[in-house]
Chain A
Amino acid sequence: TESVKRYNEYKIEFRRQQMQEFFLAHKGEEWFRSKYHPDESGKRKADAHAALQNRLRVFQYLMENGWFDNISMDIDRAPQILKILDAAVIKMEGGTENDLRILEQPLEEE
Chain B
Amino acid sequence: DDQPPKPRPLHMTCSLFMRSIAPTISKAEIVALCRRYPGFMRVCLSEPQPERRRCWVTFDRRQHQRDLLELTEHPSPGVNRDLARRVRNINGITQHKQVLRNDIKLSAKLIHALDDRERLWGRGDTHTAELPAQNPILKNITDYLIEEVSAEEEELLGNAGGVDSEDGNKEGNPTEITVERDEKLVKVLDRLLFYLRIVHSIDYYNMCEYTSEDEMPNRCGIIHVRGPIPPNRITHREVSDWEKTFEDKLGPLFSVKETLSEEEALKMGRKDPEQEVEKFVSANTQELGKDKWLCPLSGKKFKGPEFVRKHILNKHGDKIEEVKKEVEFFNNFLMDAKRPSIPEIKPLP
Contact = CB atoms under 8 A, between A and B. Distances in A.
Interface of A: 12, 15-16, 18-20, 22-23, 26-27, 29-33, 35-39, 41, 49, 51-56, 58-59, 62-63, 68, 71-78, 81-82, 84-90, 92-95, 98-103, 105, 110
B118 interface: yes
Given A68-B194, A73-B225, A78-B225, A55 B214 contact: yes
A95 B218 CA distance: 15
25 contacts: A12-B267, A15-B268, A19-B333, A22-B341, A26-B340, A29-B24, A30-B28, A31-B27, A37-B329, A38-B325, A49-B118, A52-B200, A55-B199, A55-B201, A59-B194, A62-B194, A62-B198, A63-B191, A72-B190, A78-B87, A85-B221, A89-B218, A90-B11, A93-B11, A98-B7
B161 interface: no
A71 B190 CA distance: 8
Interface residues of B, number: 63
A31 B190 contact: no
B186 to A, nearest CB: 5
The A contact surface, by secondary structure, is helix
B330 A22 contact: no
Given A27-B329, A31-B23, A19 B220 contact: no
Given A72-B187, A99-B7, A102-B7, A22 B342 contact: yes
B171 to A, nearest CB: 33
A110 B7 contact: no
B220 A92 contact: yes
Contacts, number: 156
Given A52-B199, A98-B7, A102-B9, A19 B328 contact: no
A77 B225 CA distance: 9
B339 interface: yes
Interface string B87-102: 1010000010000000
Given A49-B119, A73-B189, A84-B194, 17 more contacts: A19-B341, A27-B329, A31-B48, A32-B340, A37-B325, A38-B325, A39-B325, A58-B198, A59-B194, A59-B198, A59-B199, A73-B226, A81-B87, A92-B220, A93-B11, A98-B5, A98-B7
Given A73-B226, A89-B10, A98 B4 contact: yes
B79 interface: no
Contacts of B267: 12, 16
Interface in B267-281: 267-269
A58 B119 CA distance: 17
A27 B119 CA distance: 29
A76 to B, nearest CB: 7
A31 B53 contact: yes
Contact of B8 (A18, A102, A110): A102
Pairs of residues from A and B, 7 with the lowest C-beta to C-beta distance, nearest first: A75-B89, A30-B26, A102-B7, A93-B10, A89-B11, A78-B87, A36-B332
Given A31-B48, A55-B214, A89-B219, A110 B190 contact: no
Contacts of B10: 89-90, 93-95, 99
Contacts of B198: 55, 58-59, 62, 88
B251 interface: no
B223 interface: yes
A84 B119 CA distance: 26
B214 A74 contact: no
B228 interface: yes
Contacts of B191: 63, 68
Contacts of A41: 332
Contacts of A39: 325
A19 B226 contact: no
A99 B60 CA distance: 14
Contact of A74 (B27, B199, B226, B339): B226
